[in-house]
Chain A
Amino acid sequence: MTTGSTLEAVGRPLDRVDGAAKVTGSGRYAAEFTPPGTAYAALVGARTASGRIIGINTGAAEDADGVLAVLTHRNLPKVAAPPHLLPSLAGHAAPGESFFPMQDEVVHYFGEPVAMVIADSYERAQFAARQVHVDYARDASVTTLDEGRDQAYEPEAIFAGFLPARSVRGDIKAGFAAAAQRLDATYHFAANHHHPIEPSATTAVWDGDRLTLYDATQGIVASQRTVAALLGIPPSKVRVRASFVGGGFGCKAMIWPHVTLAAMAARWVRRPVKLALTREQMATSCGHREEQEQRIELGATDDGRLTALRHHKLSLTSPFDEWAEPSLSIAAQAYACPHYEGVYRLIRGNTMTPTFTRGPGETTGMFALECTMDELAHRIGVDPVQLRLRNHAHADPNTGHPWSSDGAQECYQRGAARFDWQSRNPEPRSERDGNWLIGKGMATAGYPVFFPMQPQRARARLYADGSAVVQAGTQEFGTGAATAMTQVAADGLGVPLHQVRFEYGDTDLPNVAATVGSAGAGMISAAVHTAVTALRDQLIAQAVLDPASPLHGVDPAAVVVSQGRMELRDDSGTGETYRQLMERHFMTDMDALGSWSPPAPDVPYGLATFGAQFAEVAVDQDLGLVRVRRMVGVFAPGRVLNAKTARSQAMGGMLWGIGQALLEGAVTDTRDGRWANAGLGEYLLPVNADAPDVAIEFVEVPDPVVNPLGVKGLGEVGMVGAAAAIANAVFHATGYRARELPIRIEHLL
């Protein structure tokens, strides 16, 4: 933190500033804008995973009441340039896949849009969409790992070229040769869907050649740039607004075809168009966590020190992109293991390009590693917490650089104490509660710290009456960013919280990148902090230069601001309020723009957020039912901006771990490559009765490297390790080692 302000608001458990709008239902989400004359678009998805359209009959749909247009590959305008996958943190156009539908007659995946019906009401659009008849020449398809195993290959790089497919350190053979203990386990992960409760939606409104989009997005700038690029119009003509977004979890982090299709539809019918995906379409329109398999080979000494770690992943990607969620990062960094080999292998299948899904990659990678670590602990008779402490990497094992901040050890220790880990009898099947077998498990949590690739900007305005408006082109989808940024702004400017309004959700505001990969809190707070402190310093400088000010001639660095009053740090009697200064100079208000440049990617520090997860389960041995009874999570996310919303975010992540461990698995019907459980009636999500009370603690470690306030983010790390802790607890309860997620009843019978 720079000098000149004190932290009064930051960290406090303030109620959400947008909470009242949410509990009253007055906040408006993307599909809740209905300008006069709004028409409704409905998408028709392909009924095969691979093939060609050989006939498409739109007559009945066109004749249906109220239909304004039916668009197919025959008449939909071509995109200006083919899209190229690029993660939205880059701040550029960020299509979720290098593909745009309805450009020709070829079908690549089930559910790919093949027609779009636009009508004057929602019901009429939906009805007419069902009247579109499409004939396909079907080709063989690959929609599961098993169908494509013989085609697996090792690419050069994954993740839009950002991550090499193979990484090594040390000498893996020597590492295994030195091992007294060897473990080898393969884990299978079903594909997952995000299913935020708000389905993705876009309302598109043209005014001449200018386009406004109300979009359900994790990156308004990404939406703006993607649509502009695909339509071939300048981004200055596209304005994206998102005041409220009903959850993202990664599926709104990249910009998928429906957003541009809504704009095309509105241009075609010359009316505002609302396009909301149906719940089933959410499974085929905005990515998923890919089906994958991970093999862990571990070498260790008899006292559990790791000597070698081989971690291979095989996953299914699309025909267009070499995408795999990065599963091998934290698992390679968490422990001081000298010899390492990580490899991604891919199978090209007939699915859309997979995408970020909460805890992207690390949550599966750490599941595999942490279950294997538990196995090692059990085999050699070392307590699982001790095993982690023994192996914790005190510097980034990839580079030898020190962590920018750590805190892992304290997380293990505080978590163990809070959970009462020491009372656990390590013997499996040793504890019972009636017919329930009780088990306790733990795992390491971790997530990398990512930086955006461009300067992040915000603007601050202070009015002479002491009230302030602070703006950044970000969006709030439940993270608590709007509230936390209000706190950051109040402290940086030195004014009371209630005087600050934070504005966001509009690309007319200064740009920040999409909020993905837990980078949001760090980069937005950095931009906001830079803007408000620039404004503060500007006013202090003016006072210092002003002969009429009590601060005339003082050292600006000796001035602090509190409650809107600039005063000497060591002599609070000497000073004046912003208001006095501004009124004396006939000023109504003052602005400043802040621009924060992220550290270079090669900054000489290891960058990660660590934590520890603990879970207790009860397993009914006759019915195979698993109930998670309690969870404890301790995380070291740098600075916590708002204790209340941070707690909620970590809790959400941990409870997602229940879904990953026990409930969530997308099932493919290989006959037509269809997700067989696309709706919420079939794809099981945790409900209230699945979710135990959760205890959360934060270890606040100062981090002078990552950004001005030392914020490392919490959105992902809360989920990483949670499923592993549950699976390890299931082992402790039953003796069953999960090799497949989700764990199902039949595994336990």
Chain B
Amino acid sequence: MADKGASLSVAKPSTMEIRGPDGVRMELVVNGVSRVLHLEPRVSLLDALREHMALTGTKKGCDQGTCGACTVWVDGRRVLACLTLAITCEGRDVTTIEGLTEGDELHPMQRAFLEHDALQCGYCTPGQIMSAVALLNEGHAETDREIAEWMSGNICRCAAYPHIRSAIREVRDRKTGQ
């Protein structure tokens, strides 16, 4: 394979260990659980979750950073799992939609999405919810306008947008006791 030769010909910096391009052992902490995987370094975090950890709650809508369906948190920050290599998440905390529920108890944002019907086909929904919870933590949900702006990286083709806003609003107001 052409790219094999190319990556091996890179001069090896003394401090950096070259891993790959064949499968390598990596350890990922996802939803608080540590998992050892054997993956090629080119595997995205999204495919690692979906194809290798059976965590299919994180969705693939475009695989190129344009839809937000793959939104997860890495060390508490929202990131697009399709644009993140799994191997770069070693030593970090990855949280997916599966990590949001406490046992059978839905997260308040999940409950609000359900009650406000902030979804139709449900395919964008895990990404929307991961963004929505992060939004509140980031303090980007003061006004409807702000919610709309900061949620615009998550496309919903079913166009549940007004209901997504009302779900976020409700959780925000309950949090601040309004």
Asked whether, in the complex, the Cβ of A24 is within 8 Å of the Cβ of B98, the reply is yes
Chain A, range 463-508, C-beta contacts under 8 Å to B: 477-480
Asked whether, in the complex, the Cβ of B162 is within 8 Å of the Cβ of A22, the reply is no
B158 at interface by CB-CB < 8 Å: yes
A28 at interface by CB-CB < 8 Å: yes
- Chain A nearest CB, measured from B97 CB (Å): 4
Closest to B168 in A: A688
Collect the chain B residues with CB atoms within 8 Å of residue A34's CB: 51, 54
Central interface residue in B40, B106, B125, B126, by most chain A CB within 10 Å = B125
Collect the chain B residues with CB atoms within 8 Å of residue A18's CB: 122
B8 at interface by CB-CB < 8 Å: no
Closest to B98 in A: A25
A651 at interface by CB-CB < 8 Å: yes
B148 at interface by CB-CB < 8 Å: yes
Collect the chain A residues with CB atoms within 8 Å of residue B115's CB: 15
Closest to B151 in A: A688
Asked whether, in the complex, the Cβ of B123 is within 8 Å of the Cβ of A247, the reply is yes
Bound together, the chains give a CA A656 to CA B64 distance in angstroms of 23
A542 at interface by CB-CB < 8 Å: no
Given A122-B51, A198-B59, A198-B61, A478 and B159 touching (CB < 8 A)?
no
- Chain B nearest CB, measured from A277 CB (Å): 11
Asked whether, in the complex, the Cβ of B117 is within 8 Å of the Cβ of A644, the reply is yes
Chain B, range 40-69, C-beta contacts under 8 Å to A: 40, 42-43, 47, 50-51, 54, 56-67, 69
Asked whether, in the complex, the Cβ of A685 is within 8 Å of the Cβ of B157, the reply is yes
Asked whether, in the complex, the Cβ of A28 is within 8 Å of the Cβ of B56, the reply is yes
Collect the chain A residues with CB atoms within 8 Å of residue B124's CB: 197, 246
Central interface residue in A25, A127, A194, A196, by most chain B CB within 10 Å = A25
Collect the chain B residues with CB atoms within 8 Å of residue A647's CB: 117
Return the CB mask of B94-136 against A: 1 if under 8 Å, else 0. Answer: 0011101100001000110111010111111110010000000
B29 at interface by CB-CB < 8 Å: no
A29 at interface by CB-CB < 8 Å: yes
Q: Which of A160-168, A328-336, A691-699, A726-734 contacts B (4 or more CB under 8 A)?
A: A691-699
Asked whether, in the complex, the Cβ of A199 is within 8 Å of the Cβ of B43, the reply is no
- Chain B nearest CB, measured from A207 CB (Å): 21
A249 at interface by CB-CB < 8 Å: yes
Collect the chain B residues with CB atoms within 8 Å of residue A689's CB: 148-149, 151-152
- Chain B nearest CB, measured from A418 CB (Å): 16
Collect the chain A residues with CB atoms within 8 Å of residue B157's CB: 194-197, 247, 249, 685
Bound together, the chains give a CA A29 to CA B90 distance in angstroms of 28
Q: Which of A28, A197, A279, A685 contacts B121 (CB 8 A)?
A: A197
Q: Which of A29, A65, A199, A244 contacts B1 (CB 8 A)?
A: A65
Asked whether, in the complex, the Cβ of B64 is within 8 Å of the Cβ of A246, the reply is no
Asked whether, in the complex, the Cβ of A197 is within 8 Å of the Cβ of B51, the reply is no
Bound together, the chains give a CA A446 to CA B40 distance in angstroms of 53
- Chain B nearest CB, measured from A386 CB (Å): 30
Bound together, the chains give a CA A245 to CA B40 distance in angstroms of 30
Return the CB mask of A1-42 against B: 1 if under 8 Å, else 0. Answer: 000000000000001101111111111110110100000000
Given A19-B114, A25-B56, A121-B40, A688 and B120 touching (CB < 8 A)?
no
A681 at interface by CB-CB < 8 Å: yes
Closest to B145 in A: A689
Asked whether, in the complex, the Cβ of A679 is within 8 Å of the Cβ of B62, the reply is yes
Collect the chain A residues with CB atoms within 8 Å of residue B97's CB: 24-25
Collect the chain B residues with CB atoms within 8 Å of residue A655's CB: 159, 161
Central interface residue in B61, B123, B124, B162, by most chain A CB within 10 Å = B123
Collect the chain B residues with CB atoms within 8 Å of residue A479's CB: 120
Asked whether, in the complex, the Cβ of A198 is within 8 Å of the Cβ of B120, the reply is no
Collect the chain B residues with CB atoms within 8 Å of residue A477's CB: 121
Asked whether, in the complex, the Cβ of B117 is within 8 Å of the Cβ of A648, the reply is yes
Given A27-B122, A247-B120, A247-B123, A32 and B56 touching (CB < 8 A)?
yes
Q: At the interface, is chain B mostly helix, strand, loop or mixed?
A: loop
Q: Which of A31, A246, A679 contacts B122 (CB 8 A)?
A: A246
Asked whether, in the complex, the Cβ of A680 is within 8 Å of the Cβ of B67, the reply is yes
B37 at interface by CB-CB < 8 Å: no
Asked whether, in the complex, the Cβ of B63 is within 8 Å of the Cβ of A279, the reply is yes
B89 at interface by CB-CB < 8 Å: no
Closest to B66 in A: A680
Collect the chain A residues with CB atoms within 8 Å of residue B122's CB: 18-19, 21-23, 27, 244, 246, 478
B30 at interface by CB-CB < 8 Å: no
Asked whether, in the complex, the Cβ of A680 is within 8 Å of the Cβ of B101, the reply is no
- Chain A nearest CB, measured from B138 CB (Å): 15
A548 at interface by CB-CB < 8 Å: no
Collect the chain B residues with CB atoms within 8 Å of residue A690's CB: 161
- Chain A nearest CB, measured from B136 CB (Å): 15
- Chain B nearest CB, measured from A124 CB (Å): 8
Asked whether, in the complex, the Cβ of B161 is within 8 Å of the Cβ of A691, the reply is yes
Bound together, the chains give a CA A480 to CA B148 distance in angstroms of 25
Bound together, the chains give a CA A648 to CA B167 distance in angstroms of 14
Asked whether, in the complex, the Cβ of B63 is within 8 Å of the Cβ of A278, the reply is yes
Q: Which of B106, B151, B152 contacts A23 (CB 8 A)?
A: B106
- Chain B nearest CB, measured from A514 CB (Å): 16
- Chain A nearest CB, measured from B60 CB (Å): 7
- Chain A nearest CB, measured from B145 CB (Å): 8
Bound together, the chains give a CA A127 to CA B120 distance in angstroms of 34
Asked whether, in the complex, the Cβ of A246 is within 8 Å of the Cβ of B98, the reply is no
B172 at interface by CB-CB < 8 Å: no
Collect the chain A residues with CB atoms within 8 Å of residue B125's CB: 22-23, 25
Asked whether, in the complex, the Cβ of B110 is within 8 Å of the Cβ of A23, the reply is yes
Collect the chain B residues with CB atoms within 8 Å of residue A692's CB: 162
Asked whether, in the complex, the Cβ of A480 is within 8 Å of the Cβ of B50, the reply is no
- Chain B nearest CB, measured from A569 CB (Å): 35
Collect the chain B residues with CB atoms within 8 Å of residue A122's CB: 47, 51
- Chain A nearest CB, measured from B95 CB (Å): 12
- Chain B nearest CB, measured from A16 CB (Å): 7
A314 at interface by CB-CB < 8 Å: no
Bound together, the chains give a CA A246 to CA B128 distance in angstroms of 14
Closest to A248 in B: B121
Bound together, the chains give a CA A647 to CA B65 distance in angstroms of 30
Q: Which of A123, A197, A279, A691 contacts B123 (CB 8 A)?
A: A197
Asked whether, in the complex, the Cβ of B110 is within 8 Å of the Cβ of A279, the reply is no
- Chain B nearest CB, measured from A6 CB (Å): 25
- Chain A nearest CB, measured from B51 CB (Å): 6
Collect the chain B residues with CB atoms within 8 Å of residue A652's CB: 120, 158-160
Asked whether, in the complex, the Cβ of A123 is within 8 Å of the Cβ of B152, the reply is no
Return the CB mask of A666-699 against B: 1 if under 8 Å, else 0. Answer: 0000000000000111000111111111100000
Bound together, the chains give a CA A367 to CA B59 distance in angstroms of 35
A645 at interface by CB-CB < 8 Å: yes
Bound together, the chains give a CA A691 to CA B63 distance in angstroms of 24
Collect the chain A residues with CB atoms within 8 Å of residue B54's CB: 34
Asked whether, in the complex, the Cβ of A16 is within 8 Å of the Cβ of B114, the reply is yes
A649 at interface by CB-CB < 8 Å: yes
- Chain B nearest CB, measured from A704 CB (Å): 30
A276 at interface by CB-CB < 8 Å: yes
Collect the chain B residues with CB atoms within 8 Å of residue A194's CB: 157
Collect the chain B residues with CB atoms within 8 Å of residue A79's CB: none
- Chain B nearest CB, measured from A644 CB (Å): 5
B164 at interface by CB-CB < 8 Å: yes
Collect the chain B residues with CB atoms within 8 Å of residue A198's CB: 59, 61, 121, 123
Given A31-B60, A681-B64, A246 and B155 touching (CB < 8 A)?
no
A590 at interface by CB-CB < 8 Å: no
In the assembled complex, 5 residue pairs joining A and B whose CB atoms fall closer than 8 Å, in A order, are A25-B96, A246-B59, A651-B159, A651-B160, A652-B160
The 3 closest A-B pairs by CB, nearest first: A25-B57, A246-B123, A22-B122
Excluding A20-B106, A198-B59, A679-B62, 6 further A-B contacts by CB distance (< 8 Å) are A23-B106, A32-B56, A34-B51, A65-B1, A196-B123, A279-B61
Chain A residues packing against B (C-beta within 8 Å)? 15-16, 18-29, 31-32, 34, 64-65, 121-123, 127, 194-199, 244-249, 276, 278-279, 477-480, 644-645, 647-649, 651-652, 655-656, 679-681, 685-694
Chain B residues packing against A (C-beta within 8 Å)? 1, 40, 42-43, 47, 50-51, 54, 56-67, 69, 96-98, 100-101, 106, 110-111, 113-115, 117, 119-126, 129, 147-149, 151-165
